[in-house]
Amino acid sequence: MNIKSNHLVLIFIILGGLTGGYYILSSLVTQETERTNLIVSTTTSIYDTGLLDVIEEDFEAKHAIDILFIPVGTGQAILHGQRGDSDLILVHAPIKEYDFLVEDYGVARKIIAYNFFIIIGSPDDPAGVKDGDIIDALKHIVYSGRRGESVWISRGDDSGTHTREKSLWKDAGFEVSSLVNEPWYLEAGAGMLSTLRLANEKGAYTLSDTGTFLKFNTGTPIELEILVDQTKELINVYSAIAVNPDFIEWVNFEGAIQFIEYLISEETQDLIANFGGDIFQQALFFPAVDLLKSGSGGNESQWIIDIAFLDGYECPPQYRVGQVQLYD
């Protein structure tokens, strides 16, 4: 073989290598660009615990979807969904969720987990509410506050926690619109962690979710303790709702449904059940899917139905948009 032939062979080898390299690189770029984004507006009460960091890492490892969580109050999360700024909302205010469905903003609602709201306060407990009935506890806090003995800190931010608080005050015979004018009733206008810090500073009573309080209570000098918890009125139910693609056409509906399917899978429900146990010596959240399927769990399955079902369903049939696999 002459020098010219050798050069030709070398050129073909180089070109072949470059071509192979191009296809390998092209394949990698294609694989990367095939990943889609999913924007989830979520309540701070679940985000602040760190659970969603674990879920994000696990989900992204199994799906070609990158998740962006936007932690806000439930009211703001719902507004994001209404504007099409998120593809899915993860919230805990059944009354507001019902409106989100009825107004055609949301579809395919699925209950995924629950824990409890709690009344926390100073160990001195000036209103004498410890281990009492929630309605009686709120009445005692009002009377104690009016005597100048107690302070109440409200989220005051239209969150799911604030929504439940207002409902509880109403059940106790009080309107928040009147209570806000009384000096013992203060509004933080902030998320749960900021509200807890303020309550801790003032030795005040407040309504918190269990998960955020336990997270706050770890490694933080805190003088508050749980005084009232685990009653039907305080059950705190978390639901995932996809934004309606017929109403807002640019949302990633396929990704939202994949994420809901992931959340209700047996593996993820186990992940939720086990999260935080090694740090807090108790679960921060309880999985809800099998509980509702089997009707087991004693009072708690019925409490979820009573507090969080809408027209008798976790998602009324007209809002399921053919996603029968979520409800089998």
Mean pLDDT across 235-261:
97
- Low-confidence winner among 141-145, 156-160, 235-239 (lowest mean pLDDT): 156-160
Q: Please tell me the least confidently modeled range out of 1-15, 146-160, 202-216, 309-323.
A: 1-15
- For range 258-285, the mean pLDDT: 92
On the question of pLDDT at 22 being above 50, the answer is: no
**Cβ-Cβ contacts under 8 Å for 7 (sequence gap 6 or more):** none
Q: Model confidence over 52-74: pLDDT tens digits?
A: 999 999 999 999 999 999 999 89
Segments making up each domain of the chain, as ranges: 33-115+236-326, 116-233
- Whether pLDDT at 13 is above 70: no
Mean pLDDT value across the chain: 89
| pLDDT for res 119 | 97
Q: For position 33, what pLDDT does the model report?
A: 56
Q: Are domains 33-115+236-326 and 116-233 of this chain identical in fold?
A: yes
pLDDT at residue number 221: 72
- Choice between 8 and 1, residue whose per-residue pLDDT is larger: 1
Residue 4 pLDDT exceeds 80: no
For 116-233, CATH number? 3.40.190.10
pLDDT above 90 coverage of the chain, percent: 77
Range 33-115+236-326: architecture per CATH: 3-Layer(aba) Sandwich (3.40)
Token pair of 127, please? Answer: 């209103």
- Predicted pLDDT at 267: 98
Task: Give residue 7's pLDDT.
Answer: 39
- Per-residue pLDDT at 317: 97
Residue 27 has pLDDT above 50, yes or no: no
Q: Which pLDDT score, from 0 to 100, does residue 34 have?
A: 85
Q: Is the pLDDT of residue 18 over 90?
A: no
Average pLDDT over residues 68-88: 95
Q: Report how far Cα 70 is from the mean position of its chain's Cα atoms.
A: 10
- Sorting pLDDT into bands at 50, 70 and 90, what band is 283? confident
- Picking from 90, 207, 221, the residue whose alpha carbon sits closest to that of residue 157 is 207
